[in-house]
Structure 1
Amino acid sequence: MSALAAPGRDRVTLNLAMLINMLSIGSTMMVMPLAADLAAPLDMPLQHSGYIAGLAGLAAAISSWFSAPWLDRFARRPLLVSLATLRFLVLLACGWVTTSTQLMWLFALSGVFAGPMAATLMASVVDMTPPAQRGRQLAYVAMGFSLAGIAVVPVALGLSQWLSWRWAFIAIGGAGLLLTLLVAMLFPLLDEHRAKRPGRLRFRTEPLWLWAMLVVGLQAGAHSLLIPHFASYFRFNLSVAQGVIPLLFLLGGLASMAAMQLSGRLIDRGQALTAVIGSNLLLMFATLIGFVWEQMLLPLILVFPLFMAASSARFSAAQTITAAIPPPEQRAGFMGWQNTLAGLASGAASVAGGFWLSSAPDGMLIGYSTLALLSLMGVAAAFFGTVMIVLGLRQPHSDSEVREA
């Protein structure tokens, strides 16, 4: 079934996809903020929270790569239900661990299912959505990333403080299982792609495929050079009061959601190049005036939401455009490989940024402007790659549904 006939049911399934995406991403986001609550009861050094999140991310990337050739051999709904059930069951089990080692390995196991689940989820959304609406629908599901930071992380922290850190995992795992049950009841089977399945999918080296992989890796890497260190940079380099930093992230999240919807609407109206050029130029502008130059030229309360909005919009545009490259029978595998490269690039950039930076006795980060310059160069390279994909999809030989984008 390529599109849902009933608009009401279409909206329900889209909301389910977004909520599952939000919970899955939020479960990974919450580990670092929960570190202080996990340390004492699990006898865990604070820095080990980074190992927990890092191992889960690595597990997701590796499992995405090795599962990609097989994901399109199954109907989307039963595969999604199976992977989501395993993902959220393991997260639920994290609420009963007694040592940090148990938590580390259980959380890593949840990452094994997270990578293929995310690829199958996005392939399902593309399958269910007519080409003329994909920009907005994919942007809506991708809003789960922003909502994870705005809603899931604060709720997890609140549960940890009011009840116990265990309830953060129990609540997310339980809510995820409930949503998975609704997916089993309400999602269409989504198995039309199997009729055209030629055999085991192999990684392809056509230019559009390679541009797509390069773009997603550069975008994730450039973003992760800066994001993990924003809170420290704001506090110690820019002297932002600690209580103001959550407000900045809230504004950034709200701006991101609005920008992704705008980007999706532009693509659906056949203005893909406008969305790509506008979002990337704004992101480079915000990076340059906010973080490359030592003296910020505009107030942070304007620069940071602009940065987050532009970054999210260009990611949403690239995701929608690259989703049109593979045929339906290769869609989930293609997205699985993209997830692998994004995860590896993000992790490598985070580690590299941590090694590069140093801190003064007063906490000020040294070398952040250089990281911002490297991020700017990555954004520019990904910008060029995305433009090449748009132009390539417009060629007469392209099979894509968005060749008129």
Structure 2
Amino acid sequence: MSADLSLSRRGETFLLWVLASVQFTHIVDFMVMMPLGPALTRLFGISDARFGLLVSAYSLAAGVSGLVASTLIDRFERKRALLFLYAGFALATLACGLASSYGALMAARVAAGTFGGVLGALVTTMVGDAIPYERRGRAMGVVMSAFSLSTVAGVPASLFVASHWGWHWPFMLIALVALPVWLVAWKVVPPLSAHLHGAGASSGGGPLLKVVGDRNHWRAFGLSALLVSGSFTIIPYITIYTTTNTGLRSDQVPLMYLAGGVATFFTARLWGRLADRYGKVGVFRGVSLAAVVPMMALTHLPQVPVAVVVLVTTAFFVFVSGRMVPGMAILTAAPEASVRGAFMSVNGALQSAAMGLASWLGGVLISRAPDGRVVGYGACGWLALVSTVVMVWWVGKLALHKSAEAAAT
């Protein structure tokens, strides 16, 4: 194993659920902006494109901070870095809740992205450090189930709180939840410092230069960008589109996220087990191609019964989030262990930039008809289809460091 300690299976599971809890809070913080879109556009009197910029600010800030972190992250013990970044994230999220204007909220989102983006990269780095490649699909399934928990519990609860006490309170609630999670992480996460004895321990820009100087790393970065770029022209505008074009009422939006979250909570771990058993690359390709169907259906959906909207969006969440499970397991095996933190930080930066640019592009592609309906959303679906086809071909170009104990994919 690549970690500095040998964890039992039970210890692995406990560690993974702590990391999943960290992921849960910062994913809710990112996702809650999207269903708040209609309320924020009305409150601040902004266009859909300016709202897209508000969503993008988090991702773009995460991208910049990830590049900076890539020069430093492998010089620090993983647990200490996790606790520092998580504390900063919690304070920035609290600032979002205290914001009183569009400008203040934008500044707070930039701060949250600065900490949250690096935090996400660090969590996946710790999975790569602690879990052998042969079980990393299952491990990623557990950690990625935080996305499901955020849609099942986090987003609906945040919307309920926002509808009763105002849009500020979801962010304040996330900051409050982060406090006990930080305390549990401080208490139970084991130190991970084996990487400090490798090449990643060098000072200055050494790790970054090693990461960006490797062609295989750039192939992995390309895969990572493709993984999010198509889907994030769609995701930020799901609530806006479904409430204006398909007949979904605002009070039915939590049902959409609840159904998707319940389904993906179970399927995320299923994709992880299948990836470990049948090969991560093959499962990644299969799930990615399956995701095209709900992508196209959602972006071309007319006014339909609520049950149809929920069915389509649930399938979208299941397959689009599902491809992230084997995808991230593959990406953790692209670098050597000694520079995994720097690699994942750069990867997180580029992935965040791709998400931010895709969110902005989605806002440019869509517009409003005179009757208020969204037009141009179908173009987002076609863009997602093209990126998926390229991605399925591109994944075969990666060389993976699986370690001697790993099973072949």
Please indicate, yes or no, whether the TM-score normalized by the shorter chain is above 0.5: yes
- Structure 2 counterpart of 1:233: 241
| Structure 2 gap ranges (5+) | none
Is 2:332 the partner of 1:323?
yes
Tell me which of 171, 174, 181 is aligned to 2:173: 171
- The alignment's TM-score, normalised by the length of structure 2, stands at 0.86
In the alignment, the residues of structure 2 paired with residue 343 and residue 234 of structure 1 have an alpha-carbon distance, to the nearest angstrom, of 25
Q: Is the 8 A contact 1:393 1:400 kept in 2?
A: no
Q: Which moved more, 1:89-98 or 1:194-203?
A: 89-98
Q: Is the 8 A contact 2:117 2:352 kept in 1?
A: no
Change beyond 3 A, Cα 1:283–1:37 = closer
Is 2:291 the partner of 1:283?
yes
Measured after TM superposition, the shift of residue 322 of structure 1 is: 1.4
Measured after TM superposition, the shift of residue 218 of structure 1 is: 1.2
- Structure 1 counterpart of 2:265: 257
Q: Is the 8 A contact 1:55 1:108 kept in 2?
A: yes
Q: Is the 8 A contact 2:34 2:239 kept in 1?
A: no
Change beyond 3 A, Cα 1:25–1:289 = closer
Counterparts of 1:135-150 in structure 2, within 5 Å, are 135-150=137-152
Tell me which of 58, 67, 72 is aligned to 1:70: 72
Change beyond 3 A, Cα 1:252–1:97 = closer
- Structure 2 counterpart of 1:18: 20
Q: Which string of whole-angstrom CA distances, capped at 9 and with x for unpartnered residues, describes residues 84-119 of structure 1?
A: 112112323444445543333233222211122221
Change beyond 3 A, Cα 1:237–1:402 = farther
- Structure 2 counterpart of 1:377: 386
- Structure 2 counterpart of 1:346: 355
Q: Give the aligned length.
A: 397
Q: Which string of whole-angstrom CA distances, capped at 9 and with x for unpartnered residues, describes residues 57-77 of structure 1?
A: 221110001211221111100
Tell me which of 264, 268, 275 is aligned to 2:276: 268
Q: Is the 8 A contact 1:4 1:10 kept in 2?
A: no
Q: Which string of whole-angstrom CA distances, capped at 9 and with x for unpartnered residues, describes residues 313-350 of structure 1?
A: 21211111111111221111111111112111122122
| Identity in percent | 26
Tell me which of 18, 30, 33 is aligned to 1:31: 33
Tell me which of 96, 103, 106 is aligned to 1:104: 106
Q: Which string of whole-angstrom CA distances, capped at 9 and with x for unpartnered residues, describes residues 172-220 of structure 1?
A: 1122132112212111110011111252212334343122111111121
- Structure 2 counterpart of 1:308: 317
Tell me which of 172, 178, 191 is aligned to 1:189: 191
Q: Is the 8 A contact 1:119 1:333 kept in 2?
A: no
In the alignment, the residues of structure 1 paired with residue 234 and residue 275 of structure 2 have an alpha-carbon distance, to the nearest angstrom, of 28
Is 2:355 the partner of 1:355?
no
Is 2:370 the partner of 1:404?
no
Change beyond 3 A, Cα 1:24–1:401 = farther
Measured after TM superposition, the shift of residue 163 of structure 1 is: 4.2
- Structure 2 counterpart of 1:204: 212
In the alignment, the residues of structure 2 paired with residue 167 and residue 125 of structure 1 have an alpha-carbon distance, to the nearest angstrom, of 32
Q: Is the 8 A contact 2:159 2:254 kept in 1?
A: no
Q: Is the 8 A contact 1:282 1:307 kept in 2?
A: no
In the alignment, the residues of structure 2 paired with residue 237 and residue 34 of structure 1 have an alpha-carbon distance, to the nearest angstrom, of 17
Tell me which of 382, 400, 403 is aligned to 1:393: 400
Change beyond 3 A, Cα 1:3–1:357 = same
- The alignment's TM-score, normalised by the length of structure 1, stands at 0.87
In the alignment, the residues of structure 2 paired with residue 382 and residue 115 of structure 1 have an alpha-carbon distance, to the nearest angstrom, of 23
Measured after TM superposition, the shift of residue 288 of structure 1 is: 4.4
Measured after TM superposition, the shift of residue 158 of structure 1 is: 2.9
Change beyond 3 A, Cα 1:252–1:108 = same
In the alignment, the residues of structure 1 paired with residue 149 and residue 318 of structure 2 have an alpha-carbon distance, to the nearest angstrom, of 13
Q: Which AA in structure 1 matches 2:369?
A: A
- RMSD between aligned alpha carbons? 3.0
Q: Is the 8 A contact 2:32 2:158 kept in 1?
A: yes
In the alignment, the residues of structure 1 paired with residue 404 and residue 220 of structure 2 have an alpha-carbon distance, to the nearest angstrom, of 14
Q: Which moved more, 1:65-74 or 1:84-93?
A: 84-93
Is 2:341 the partner of 1:332?
yes
Q: Is the 8 A contact 2:289 2:388 kept in 1?
A: no
Change beyond 3 A, Cα 1:320–1:93 = same
Change beyond 3 A, Cα 1:46–1:33 = farther
The secondary structure found in structure 1 opposite 2:127 is helix
The secondary structure found in structure 1 opposite 2:16 is helix
Q: Which AA in structure 2 matches 1:329?
A: S
Measured after TM superposition, the shift of residue 376 of structure 1 is: 0.2
Q: Which string of whole-angstrom CA distances, capped at 9 and with x for unpartnered residues, describes residues 194-253 of structure 1?
A: 111252212334343122111111121100122223234334444445554433332222
Change beyond 3 A, Cα 1:148–1:301 = closer
The secondary structure found in structure 1 opposite 2:124 is helix
Q: Which AA in structure 1 matches 2:214?
A: E
In the alignment, the residues of structure 1 paired with residue 254 and residue 382 of structure 2 have an alpha-carbon distance, to the nearest angstrom, of 25
